Structure 1
């Protein structure tokens, strides 16, 4: 599967999960995505990919695809075995009952072909095959995690009726291999052993058998497979041994088998494969979906002139945040400290990060231009709650080097010290690496 289809599959899975269970915690991921000078579609896909790596969907998809590849190889080997068994079963007796052998070789092929065509035309809105529903049932039994379970429904939702083409390609590929294997064994046995042929019927007369033989052999005769003569057909009500009679029936049997079995499956495989390749390239996200419309408002680029198109024009990206300096990327920030506090004059003070807007602005800035050295000033009179610790961790992640500076010996100092944070004072900003 192409990488583009894999990422679209993950995107649709995230969309389905969020539609049912609510939004993921995605503020920091959105910030990373918004810093990319690319189109809206690419930002939505990148966000879904990052979320998938966090919640296990990405690895689950890889496991599913790996399992499909392994199953595919095992089924190929099984197809070769089934094809060989088909021939040995049909030629298990000598003399060979012609029409019974023909039914043995092509009977299951025609039955499965009718079932597949029925699924193809009457279950198109359900993916075009009952196999997809079996797959969905198995996935629900094997995977307990709800997010992983949504991979298969998302696959069906994304690809829709196009799934019937890939299912048709796979099924006809397997039958092509089965019948090819049967044909090879058939040719080898006819070439190395003597077989006599006969037909038996309680209801049909010799004339009816002659007409049936001509009807079945007409199309193969156009491709060069000769028809047995009428006299030979009549005489074959009982097995005869002359070589020309054996050869005539063997060629007829091979021609019917190739035209109504192998050739049918091969042509259907090619049609389904080409149609799938063409239709899969037209799969796109539906940006008119209300959920994507809301998401588009939150994935506004941090660049001032990004054009939301699949192919971006030539633009020079400009940063909308004026606080970013052209210096060495060395900053001092104050987190949850009253604005009456005076920072050291020798340190490049970035600002007070006490409001949601200020914190969002610095995270956006550092996403675009990570700090080389960042010193985070903390008032140890404030308790180290989960919110402030999470924010400090985000600052650390967006800086090449970071340290914590306790500006006082507050009443929560012991709790802060128990966290074993990397500490420093403003002199650290002036030191070399």
Structure 2
């Protein structure tokens, strides 16, 4: 087994979150993995929940053999993209040959333009409508996106081969990443096809003599003159030639409008293909690439998901979650065994930042007065309660696995100041190899605050016996 910290494998920001989602999905489907070593490794990461989840996920993914799944999926995606690009180039060249033919007969200019741009314009309109309708209407990035996903599935038909894509789209922001990524792929393939059509068109026009004509039974020539002029305005702005009215009229009468007419028609047809076909696809490709990059930068784990939420208490010790909220006390108040001027009313046991895996109150303590302090509001409520009804005996229970921090020690001092007598039980039941006991650290810290060994209860039985001493008159 190779630990992530000692592994030579480098993971990008995307790959790390991708692996975390793969691990989460597996654990939700098949149950939690054994992760004691992974948690130990994660504890060495920076004190942030997402960072520690990522460290744990990398460790588990390497141990289970999933670490290369994202890269293998990306390799298949690149292969599928290369095959799709090859098909797009062939289709583009075939499209140009299909509309021009071998030159043995005249080219119907309307059908030629429809053959070059018709499917492109129709699919572009569908894509724009789907994008405007929202992510649910275009989850796969258009027709070409869905075809590409089918090709990707054909390259690897194993059931587990679809897991990386499901994990990627399951990330917070992963849906947008997949949406714009497939949109980028769609426009790139269309751009390749249209560029191949433009090059093939140019090659055919350079090596064959074509005659251009328009044919109609009911429309007047003025309609075609206006049609050619309207579509030719943008290409003309880029330097392409546009047939004049006389050329258009002459092409309606015969396919031989002269050398100048053939050149004008060729330039107009090529210009329309580039301006209304290739250029929009390139602009949309750039827009999708920008949106994809932004979605990738915003990629996050959805920490509200149950699979991640359950790791919070295991990866973030309670002391880290609560934090230090008060400055260091000038004095701890007093030792737990010295007389106090207050007249106490009852005995109280308070658990301070106790791990959630430790039962509280204990089964045998059901009749005792207990409280729990895990956050600011509970802290205030407990202090207010002790202020109004000072306990004669106060037992503070702390988690031996948590390093004593300033906030906990300040709370102990404040509670001690409101009780007649105070003792501390450093509870060790939950200590193990992953989170060992820090009892010695607690004893040293409590000694600095004025709690000597006599004020420390060694175990639960002695702690309960001390609490019940009030009832027994002890």
Checking the alignment, whether the CA contact within 8 Å between 1:10 and 1:48 is kept in structure 2 is yes
- Greater CA deviation, 7-16 or 113-122? 113-122
Shift in CA distance, 241/229, structure 1 to aligned 2, threshold 3 Å: closer
Shift in CA distance, 4/307, structure 1 to aligned 2, threshold 3 Å: farther
Q: Tell me the equivalent position of 1:199.
A: 214
Partners of 1:128 and 1:151 in 2: how far apart? Answer: 15
* SS of the residue 2:225 aligns to: helix
* SS of the residue 2:68 aligns to: helix
Q: Tell me the equivalent position of 2:272.
A: 256
Partners of 1:189 and 1:139 in 2: how far apart? Answer: 37
Shift in CA distance, 3/281, structure 1 to aligned 2, threshold 3 Å: same
Shift in CA distance, 358/249, structure 1 to aligned 2, threshold 3 Å: closer
* SS of the residue 1:5 aligns to: helix
Alignment of 1:124-273 (within 5 A): 124-125=135-136, 127-129=139-141, 131=145, 135=149, 142-145=157-160, 149-158=162-171, 159-237=174-252, 238-273=254-289
Q: Tell me the equivalent position of 2:81.
A: 72
Q: Can you give the 5+ residue segments of structure 2 that lack an aligned partner in the other structure? A: 1-10, 324-400, 404-428, 439-474
Shift in CA distance, 55/257, structure 1 to aligned 2, threshold 3 Å: same
Partners of 1:253 and 1:70 in 2: how far apart? Answer: 34
Shift in CA distance, 289/83, structure 1 to aligned 2, threshold 3 Å: same
Q: Can you give the 5+ residue segments of structure 1 that lack an aligned partner in the other structure? A: 309-319, 323-354, 365-433
Q: Tell me the equivalent position of 2:59.
A: 50
CA drift at 1:361: 4.9
What is the aligned residue count? Answer: 318
Shift in CA distance, 197/279, structure 1 to aligned 2, threshold 3 Å: same
Alignment of 1:335-350 (within 5 A): none
CA drift at 1:37: 4.2
Q: Tell me the equivalent position of 1:39.
A: 48
Partners of 1:362 and 1:4 in 2: how far apart? Answer: 32
Q: Tell me the equivalent position of 1:122.
A: 133
Deviations 1:370-423 (A, max 9, x none): xxxxxxxxxxxxxxxxxxxxxxxxxxxxxxxxxxxxxxxxxxxxxxxxxxxxxx
Shift in CA distance, 87/139, structure 1 to aligned 2, threshold 3 Å: closer
Checking the alignment, whether the CA contact within 8 Å between 2:80 and 2:152 is kept in structure 1 is no
Q: Tell me the equivalent position of 2:37.
A: 28
CA drift at 1:179: 0.9
CA drift at 1:57: 2.8
Residue 370 (structure 2) pairs with residue 357 (structure 1): no
Q: Tell me the equivalent position of 1:283.
A: 299
Shift in CA distance, 200/167, structure 1 to aligned 2, threshold 3 Å: same
CA drift at 1:138: 7.5
Shift in CA distance, 291/84, structure 1 to aligned 2, threshold 3 Å: same
* SS of the residue 1:57 aligns to: coil
CA drift at 1:239: 0.3
Q: Tell me the equivalent position of 2:113.
A: 102
CA drift at 1:362: 6.3
Partners of 1:51 and 1:307 in 2: how far apart? Answer: 28
- Whose relative contact order is higher, 1 or 2, with alpha carbons under 8 Å and at least 6 apart? 1
Residue 31 (structure 2) pairs with residue 16 (structure 1): no
Checking the alignment, whether the CA contact within 8 Å between 1:80 and 1:177 is kept in structure 2 is yes
Partners of 2:61 and 2:315 in 1: how far apart? Answer: 17
Alignment of 1:286-325 (within 5 A): 286-300=302-316
What's the TM-score once normalised by structure 1's chain length? 0.65
CA drift at 1:171: 0.8
Checking the alignment, whether the CA contact within 8 Å between 1:120 and 1:128 is kept in structure 2 is no
Checking the alignment, whether the CA contact within 8 Å between 1:136 and 1:152 is kept in structure 2 is no
What's the TM-score once normalised by structure 2's chain length? 0.60
Shift in CA distance, 358/106, structure 1 to aligned 2, threshold 3 Å: closer
CA drift at 1:96: 1.3
* SS of the residue 1:36 aligns to: coil
Q: Tell me the equivalent position of 1:397.
A: none
Q: What CA RMSD, in Å, does the superposition of the two structures yield over aligned residues?
A: 3.3
* SS of the residue 1:86 aligns to: helix
- Greater CA deviation, 129-138 or 70-79? 129-138
CA drift at 1:232: 0.9
